[in-house]
Amino acid sequence: MAEIFVLAEHRQGRIRDITFEMLTKGKKLTEQINADLTVVLLGKEAKEHARTLSEYAKKVLLIEDTKLENFNSEAYQRVLSNLINEHKPLLLMIGHTSFGVDLAPSLAASLKLPLATDCIDLEFDDETFLVTRQMYGGKVNVRARVRKAESYVVTIRQAAFEAQKPAMNGEIIEKPSSLAEEITKKRFIGYVLPPPGGVDITAADMLIGIGRGIKDENNIPTVEELAKSLGGVLACSRPIVDKGWLPSDRQVGSSGKTVKPKLYIAFGISGAFQHVLGMKNSDLIIAINKDPNAPIFSFSDYGVVEDMFKILSPLQSKICELKGQKT
Amino acid sequence: MAERGLNIIVCVKHVPETAEAEIKIDSTGKAIEKAGLVFDINECDDYALEEAVRVKEKFGGSVIAVTVGPEDADSTLRKCLARGADKAIRLTDATFGGSDGYAIAKILHNAIKGLPFDLVLTGALAGDDGCTMVGPILAELLRIPHATMVKKIELGEGVAKVNRELEGGLEEAVEVELPAVLTVQTGINEPRYVSILGIRKAMKKEIKVLGLADIGLSENDVGEAGSWIKIESMFVPPVEKQAEFIKGTPEEIAAKIVEIIKSRGLI
Ligand SMILES: Cc1cc2nc3c(=O)[nH]c(=O)nc-3n(C[C@H](O)[C@H](O)[C@H](O)COP(=O)(O)OP(=O)(O)OC[C@H]3O[C@@H](n4cnc5c(N)ncnc54)[C@H](O)[C@@H]3O)c2cc1C
Ligand SMILES: Nc1ncnc2c1ncn2[C@@H]1O[C@H](COP(=O)(O)O)[C@@H](O)[C@H]1O
């Protein structure tokens, strides 16, 4: 029977959410095409993880090796190449995460298997295999056909599928590690923690987020003023941190913080999925963007299609008016 | 290394700015209408080029900027030359159209494999199709190691110690043997502005143009034939939730926003 492999991702003792998201989608696919779902788990002492994952798949292939303690694409690639050559799974699913993007492309290229990255949907038809992915910062979707092959490799976007618990009772199969020689070309040294920040945006009830629409560093104080009047905290999208206009502890998104305030106002933020990942669960989202087609509007409760600089000052005075009345 | 300097190749892509532009799907239904869009160097490639120039300034050596793209991509290469690249190569051929990340990586591989290099820098991803694959595939084809999503580079004797960006603000430090391919993430440095003098000097530098035959590939290696994936259709993403739009004069909009916030008991 055809087999679908999901590569488990874990870091610092925790299985990462993407693993369960992929397993949920993987299970649906196996039901559609009548295949078996196998989760591949590589690690140092990973039996605990194997037990957890056994509830999500028919089989858990567990390979333990001290060289697999921390993620290293060189080591992973070697072990996975052997596994794929041996089992010839129809599909290998890897997370489109920092871990997955370091591994999947070179693995696929070395095995001469086609790869589709950052997929948000997958589908088999009579001919081959189709994926849905986004282009142009999420402004368009494409459906793409993958070249016919014995096995396909995909990376899956985070949060594209909602994880569900299927309560299976998979068999855990331990396999010996095929890593004989030392890993020589790439060496993991250690984790580097972000510098301790002065502000904890995850604790704020109200966040005012600014994006590239702010245009100039000198425009930031106006928004900061607004945040203060409202009793909220200033946050931002990644380009603002990249430019050095705000410290990294203010960044919302996949490579920044995940926030869930009572109110999130987005000024001049397009709504790239990496940003949305960090704020979509806020209770109330209001977006101000001059582009009516900005993806942020699909994630907001209220939208304003307007130049943010026309809104800032009346908003500031309305808030002051109201607060003034109260005191 | 310090004595002879480092030879660096930077792969740059000429991409349309789409965050603020109106995007229309063209009549083929498989691509967007490019007319009217403003093209520039891909965002992370800008950081990659800056990083390369900084390494050259510190250790000596050379920087070559390479692109696969149409003649228009010369403006991106000129920008690289003005910023401090020594040479530029443009790979252009009618057969290259429809290439995915894999085909692009093969083209780049054949173009650079004969050149001397210690380091190949690419961006982490291209802002248009966002494959996030060209760098590490190129490394695999060159049979050299790679590290993706790099936020810091420290060069030592025969090795690069780099910080890779992980999720949630975490990074990992890894060491890779040189030569290597590193894919650079935004924010690694602050790309410099180009001086008028730099631009003028860059106009005199030559851009070498190579086609399919010049790099020893065949038609089956590139374009749709040489790609892993082929676009069948392009469409506007389905909207799961649509915001309720607030309309009116700025004053009216501001009043409505305050009313909404107040109704939630937040003010
Ligand atoms: C691995 C990876 C991790 C990432 N992590 C994150 C992350 O954690 N957080 C994050 O935010 N991004 C992250 N990004 C970047 C992300 O992909 C986007 O590039 C980024 O979110 C875009 O920021 P932006 O919306 O501010 O800018 P843009 O996309 O450039 O959008 C600017 C918006 O401002 C609007 N605008 C311009 N002028 C005005 C005006 N006067 N009034 C109103 N609106 C205006 C425009 O219409 C546009 O929609 C990551 C990317 C990668 C590859
Ligand atoms: N057509 C191209 N020409 C030169 N470099 C490219 C091209 N396409 C992609 N790259 C490089 O590969 C990186 C990643 O692109 P991608 O894998 O398409 O997301 C880019 O940031 C560039 O550095």
Tell me: the pLDDT tens digits for B116-158?
999 999 999 999 999 999 999 999 999 999 999 999 999 999 9
Closest ligand (CA of B69): 2
Q: Which residue in chain A is spatially nearest to B140 when comparing CA positions? A: A106
Q: How far is CA A128 from the centre of its chain?
A: 27
- Residue A257: DSSP 8-state: B
Query: Which numbered atom of ligand 2 lies nearest the CA of B131?
Result: 19
Q: Which residues of chain A are within 8 Å of residue B136 when distances are taken between CB atoms?
A: 73, 101-102, 105-106, 109
Q: Find out whether B19 and A138 touch, Cβ atoms under 8 Å.
A: no
Q: Which residue in chain B is spatially nearest to A187 when comparing CA positions? A: B175
Check pLDDT > 70 for residue B74.
yes
Check pLDDT > 70 for residue B161.
yes
Q: Find out whether A92 and A5 touch, Cβ atoms under 8 Å.
A: yes
Is B9 close to ligand 2, i.e. is its CB under 6 Å away? no
Q: Which residue in chain A is spatially nearest to B43 when comparing CA positions? A: A239
What CATH number should be reported for the domain whose range is B6-226? 3.40.50.620
Check pLDDT > 60 for residue B2.
no
Is A96 close to ligand 1, i.e. is its CB under 6 Å away? no
Ligand 1 centroid from CA B86, angstroms: 32
* Strand, helix or coil for residue A52: helix
pLDDT in tens, A101-116: 999 999 999 999 999 9
What is the tally of helices (H) and strands (E) in chain A?
Answer: 8, 17
Is A308 close to ligand 1, i.e. is its CB under 6 Å away? yes
Is B148 close to ligand 2, i.e. is its CB under 6 Å away? no
Is A309 close to ligand 1, i.e. is its CB under 6 Å away? yes
Check pLDDT > 70 for residue A240.
yes
- What average pLDDT does this structure show over B58-79? 97
Q: Any idea where the domains of chain A sit in the sequence?
A: 3-175, 201-326
A326 — pLDDT class (breaks 50, 70, 90): low
CB contact under 8 A, A104 and B133: yes
pLDDT in tens, A287-298: 999 999 999 999
AA letter at B54: R
Q: What is the 3-state secondary structure (H, E, C) of B113-152?
A: CCCCCCEEEEECCCCCCCCCCHHHHHHHHHCCCEEEEEEE
Residue A171: HSE in the Cβ half-sphere, 13 Å Cα cutoff = 4
When CB atoms are compared, the residue of A139, A193, A243 closest to B170 is A193
Check pLDDT > 50 for residue A327.
no
Considering the segment(s) A201-326 as one domain, its CATH architecture is 3-Layer(aba) Sandwich (3.40)
Ligand 2 centroid from CA B190, angstroms: 20
Give the pLDDT of residue A225: 96
Rounded Cα–Cα distance for residues A201 and A204 (Å): 5
When CB atoms are compared, the residue of A118, A192, A310 closest to B132 is A118
Q: For a pLDDT cut of 70, what percent of chain B falls above it?
A: 99
- What average pLDDT does this structure show over A219-228? 97
pLDDT in tens, A123-144: 999 888 999 999 999 999 999 9
Q: How far is CA A253 from the centre of its chain?
A: 9
Give the mean pLDDT of chain B.
95
- Residue A131: DSSP 8-state: E
CB atoms within 10 A of CB B248: 12
Give the pLDDT of residue A180: 83
Rounded Cα–Cα distance for residues B153 and B150 (Å): 7
Give the pLDDT of residue A167: 84
Q: Is the backbone peptide bond immediately before A196 cis, with ω within 30 degrees of 0? A: no
- In this predicted complex, what is the ipTM? 0.96
Give the pLDDT of residue B231: 97
At the top level of CATH, which class does the domain A3-175 belong to?
Answer: alpha beta
When CB atoms are compared, the residue of A71, A102, A230 closest to B136 is A102
Phi, psi (degrees; rounded to nearest 5) at B200: -65, -45
B3 — pLDDT class (breaks 50, 70, 90): low
Residue B154 CB-density burial (10 A; 0-12 exposed, 13-18 middle, 19+ buried)? exposed
Task: Choose from A81, A192, A265 for mutation: most chain B CBs within 10 A.
Answer: A192
Residue labelled with tokens 């945006």: A201
Is A3-175's fold the same as A201-326's? yes
- What average pLDDT does this structure show over A301-314? 98
Q: Which residue in chain B is spatially nearest to A119 when comparing CA positions? A: B131
pLDDT in tens, A152-208: 999 999 999 999 988 899 999 999 998 987 778 999 999 999 888 789 999 999 999
pTM here?
0.96
Query: Which numbered atom of ligand 2 lies nearest the CA of B130?
Result: 19
Inter-CA distances, B256 with A57, B15, B196, B246, Å: 50, 39, 48, 7
Is B69 close to ligand 2, i.e. is its CB under 6 Å away? yes
Rounded Cα–Cα distance for residues B196 and B200 (Å): 6
Ligand 2 centroid from CA A276, angstroms: 24
What's the start-to-end Cα distance of chain A, in Å? 72
When CB atoms are compared, the residue of B144, B244, B254 closest to A302 is B244
Q: Find out whether A19 and A52 touch, Cβ atoms under 8 Å.
A: no
Residue B240: HSE in the Cβ half-sphere, 13 Å Cα cutoff = 6
CA-closest candidate to residue A81, choices A10, A179, A147, A187 = A179
Rounded Cα–Cα distance for residues B245 and A104 (Å): 41
Give the pLDDT of residue A194: 85
Phi, psi (degrees; rounded to nearest 5) at A152: -120, 150
A250 — pLDDT class (breaks 50, 70, 90): very high
Lowest mean pLDDT among A276-285, A302-311, B2-11: B2-11
Is B150 close to ligand 2, i.e. is its CB under 6 Å away? no
Check pLDDT > 60 for residue A219.
yes
Give the mean pLDDT of chain A.
95
Q: For a pLDDT cut of 90, what percent of chain A falls above it?
A: 93
